[in-house]
Amino acid sequence: MSSALIDPVEPDATPSDPLNFTSIQGDVSAREEGDVVVYQFRNKTFRLNKTKARERLAGKKVINGHRSAELNVLPLKYHEAYRIYKQMKANHWEPDVIDMSKDAHQWNTNTLSAKERWIIEMGIGYFSAAEGIVGDSVLHVIEDNLTAAELKHASLRHIAEESIHMDSLLHIIGSLNIDLDEVTAKFQDIPSIRKKNEFITRHMPEMKMGIDLTQTANKQRFAKALFAITQVMEGTQFYALFAMVLSLHRQNKMTGIGQMFQYTLRDESNHIALGRYILTELINENPDIWTSEFRQELTDFMREGVELEQEFVSDCLPEDIVGMRQQEFLDYVEYNADRRLAGLGLPTLYKVRTNPFGWLDEVIFLKKEKNFFETRVTEYQTSGSVRNSNEDDLI
């Protein structure tokens, strides 16, 4: 027998006994001594303490956990966050490969009505500020305070996707040759946009300064910021405008923008799922947060967010137009608000039982077949990704 592989067994040990063995492969030997694994390589000995490794896992927490300089996700604790991260990565897309020539032609001819043009202008004006608010808040308020590496890892992907969304807006503005001063004026001067942005960011400055997250009140501030960004803003205040743009897309109008909004909305579904997961784990680890008063505070915050969003919807769509009824969009805001509240076990507010836009999931998630020789491939879900058929598959 070759001496390259020898696996002797101690007389009082059996192969099924994992805590009492000696194995030798070449010049390397390994044996367990209680909670220590001893590796010997030639004249060097390494003792690896499994107890300390277990302590590292136990020290992982959403906040106030073990911090280290390296972003090492091992040992992996928050498996769902890592799954969502992989889903986010599988959905990767790039704005500048999306053909905007048809959009530019429609924009510069009489194809769109004045009311349809207004929806596009409001969408660009609002999202040019809102995407930046989300990215900045996730970076400085959420990710900075997380201590588990896999949660930080997923949040960094969230931030990267906000940059892609900002890039898509620049691609739209450049393709349509829209006046940048008009875009800036939209989010600075239109009251409903300004009030929505001020509402979301009103508590962010104190969070960015750094607060003691061992105190219950500060933990609640962090939880509320997480709720505000991922469940109220991304999960409720983005959706009606997405639905308006995708309604135009459905009518074969502004299809390039519609495609970008389709991919963006798929990203938002993952952001909502990640935010809710982190918030749920935070509450599980810190039950002192989840008082009846705090639950009411979150519910009231959502109610205020809905009121501001419905004012914005009324500005975007002052009256019904072909293929769009204002009341359906107002209902859709309430439908999504209840959906986010229910996802966290909070009481719902509006009782809108049916999604007014049942077609929307199909637009977002149904894989579109493309002829490779006629158009660039813009379906970015990779072969190893989860095949989603609707938003509930993600959230």
User: Is pLDDT above 90 for 365?
Assistant: no
Name the token pair of 24: 């030798």
For position 216, what pLDDT does the model report? 97
For position 234, what pLDDT does the model report? 97
Band (25; pLDDT cuts 50, 70, 90): low
For position 26, what pLDDT does the model report? 57
Band (254; pLDDT cuts 50, 70, 90): very high
Place of tokens 């609002």: 126
Q: In what order do the strands lie in the sheet with 36-41?
A: 5-6, 22-25, 28-33, 36-41, 44-49
Average pLDDT of the chain, as a whole number: 85
Exposure string of 3-19, with b = 16+ CB inside 10 Å and e = fewer, is eeeeeeeeeeeeeeeee
Band (231; pLDDT cuts 50, 70, 90): very high
For position 2, what pLDDT does the model report? 41
For position 77, what pLDDT does the model report? 92
For position 366, what pLDDT does the model report? 52
Residue pLDDT, tens place only, 281-327: 999 999 999 999 999 999 999 999 999 999 999 999 999 998 899 99
User: Is pLDDT above 60 for 93?
Assistant: yes
Residue 249 φ/ψ, nearest 5 degrees:
-55, -40
Q: How far is CA 380 from CA 69, 153, 166, 252, in A?
A: 33, 21, 18, 22
Band (15; pLDDT cuts 50, 70, 90): very low
Q: What is the 3-state secondary structure (H, E, C) of the chain?
A: CCCCEECCCCCCCCCCCCCCCEEEECCEEEEEECCEEEEEECCEEEEEEHHHHHHHHHCCCCCCCCCCCCCCCCCCCCHHHHHHHHHHHHCCCCHHHCCCHHHHHHHCCCCCCHHHHHHHHHHHHHHHHHHHHHHHHHHHHHHHHCCCHHHHHHHHHHHHHHHHHHHHHHHHHHHHCCCHHHHHHHHHHCHHHHHHHHHHHCCHHHHHCCCCCCCHHHHHHHHHHHHHHHHHHHHHHCHHHHHHHHHHHHCCCCHHHHHHHHHHHHHHHHHHHHHHHHHHHHHHHCHHHCCHHHHHHHHHHHHHHHHHHHHHHHHHCCCCECCECHHHHHHHHHHHHHHHHHHCCCCCCCCCCCCCCCCHHHHHHCCCCCCCCCCCCCCCCCCCCCCCCCHHHCC
Band (53; pLDDT cuts 50, 70, 90): confident
Band (17; pLDDT cuts 50, 70, 90): very low
Q: How far is CA 336 from CA 106, 233, 244, in A?
A: 31, 11, 15
User: Is pLDDT above 50 for 385?
Assistant: no
For position 20, what pLDDT does the model report? 41
The domain 62-393 having CATH identifier 3.50.50.60: the answer here is: no
What's the whole-number mean pLDDT along residues 130-148?
Answer: 94
The structure's pTM equals: 0.83
Counting residues of the chain whose pLDDT is more than 70, the rounded percentage is 85
For position 391, what pLDDT does the model report? 54
User: Is pLDDT above 90 for 10?
Assistant: no
